[in-house]
Amino acid sequence: MSALTLITAVLAIFAVHPMLGQPTDLSASLVQSIEKRIGGELNPSIAVGIVDESGTQFYNFGYTQVDGELVDEHTIYEIGSITKVFTAILLAQQVLDGKVNLDDPINQYLPPEAQVPAKGDQAITLGSLSDHTSGIPRLPANMAPANPKNPYADYTVDQMYTFISSYEPSREVGAAYEYSNLAQGLLGHILAQNAGIPYVQLMKENIAEPLNMAETGIKFNDQMKAHLAPGHANGEITDNWDIPTLAGAGAIRSSTADMLRFLAANLGIEESPLLDAMELTHQVRHSQAGEMRVGLGWHIKAGKEGDVIWHNGGTGGYRAFAGLVKETGKGVVVLTNSSISVDDIGFHLLDSGSELNPVQTKDDAVAVPEETLERYVGRYELAPNFHIEITKEGTQLYGQATGQDRFELFAKSETEFFLTVAEARVTFQVEDDTVESLTLFQAGQEIPGKKVE
């Protein structure tokens, strides 16, 4: 997904129904924050699960959709890139079984027509695919989805082979961290080919079934369909994502209950045959991801109580977080059927030094004179083929990015505006009473756009 993509969420009603009779790990301020997200039209539902030696706790907020069902620990969500951790465990299993080595060049597992070039003398390895140092880009350039709302559905193995064999790497293997869906999807494909079965079957037989995760899979069964929380984006229910070729990068759907089984196994709270493989994925491989370290699949962030071993995920209408701290023996999963992130909730529950993000809703907007809003109307160029069009209707300002739906902008001040449909804000730069440009703040980036019309 492009860092410039602006995705919206749908109106929701909130309900809070934690399991009765259990102690709560949710502070009043956290509950208040979650309720504001639900009631403020950001997230239709948020499901939180916590596991430690004392057992499991579930806290469920909201409905599957307007006029839908209350969510619970069996509600199904897409977990997106948390799938990469499952793929890493499958890799670790094959390593421990003597079927592969982390330092094996990937070309020995690929057909002649799909040999991947590498810059320099070092070959791309299975381990470098998993720890994001392969040099393979985030996405293949030859994706042309028939349905942009389900962008991976028609991407084929032949297309992947064509791209990886002709791609010219810009850096040597191991030189830098570059998060890559393509590399992880390719890894899942290689592991499945090596096992002689499809990835969906490999994951099911080696992870879901041993951990009794009956609500976890790639293909919907009847039970999963019946308990699905539809994803929300652009103000309405959006398509689920089907990811056949790059399944190892983000194709899994699951529930809070199942994800706590997964985390309990990673922590060793629940005995399983996967513990050695899971512990191998937790080992640090490099420290090139800014302030974070990276294992196989997992990212590792220092916290007050210990290292937070974590991953998040996102598809068109879902966001997910899963993490654990070995020092405290605690695991947390947070799932939502919205494109608005819930990472801060997960980090806050695992690390007392991690603060919740401020939640802004329409009610937080301040009034700005219409003549001031009128000055911002125009077209702003953020990239050669990417613009944001600012329009005004009455006292409401709107933005529309190239090829995307229109979104509302709410004033925090006369020059700063926030979105309620995405984690983003926009500021306008004014010089000598003339609006010169805007800046889009999203996903940790600051993207300036000069006013061209």
Query: What pLDDT shows up at residue 218?
Result: 98
CATH code linked to domain 28-350: 3.40.710.10
pTM over 0.95: no
Query: What pLDDT shows up at residue 274?
Result: 98
pLDDT greater than 90 at residue 120: no
Give the distance from CA 193 to its chain's centroid. 26
Mean pLDDT of the chain: 92
pLDDT digits (tens, 9 = 90+) for 373-409: 999 999 999 999 899 999 999 999 999 999 888 899 9
Q: How far apart are CA 230 and CA 129, in angstroms?
A: 31
Residue at 107: amino acid letter: N
pLDDT greater than 60 at residue 11: no
Nearest to 76 by CA among 337, 341, 338, 342: 337
Domain boundaries, the chain: 28-350, 362-451
The answer to whether 360 and 410 have CB atoms below 8 angstroms apart is yes
**Is 123 strand, coil or helix?**
coil
Strand partners, 45: 62
Greatest C-alpha distance within the chain: 70
pLDDT greater than 80 at residue 241: yes
The CATH class of the 362-451 domain is: mainly beta
pLDDT band at 186, cuts 50/70/90? very high
Query: What pLDDT shows up at residue 444?
Result: 79
Strand segments, DSSP code E, in 195-291 are 232-233, 236-237, 253-254, 286-289
Query: What pLDDT shows up at residue 6?
Result: 34
User: How many CA atoms lie less than 13 Å away from 239 in the CB half-sphere?
Assistant: 10
Q: How far apart are CA 104 and CA 120, in angstroms?
A: 17
Q: What is the mean pLDDT of residues 234-257?
A: 94
pLDDT greater than 50 at residue 20: no
Query: What pLDDT shows up at residue 385?
Result: 87
pLDDT greater than 70 at residue 42: yes
Q: How far apart are CA 15 and CA 451, in angstroms?
A: 43
pLDDT band at 24, cuts 50/70/90? low
Domains 28-350 and 362-451 share a fold: no
pLDDT digits (tens, 9 = 90+) for 43-61: 999 999 999 999 999 999 9
Of all residues in the chain, the percent with pLDDT exceeding 90 is 84
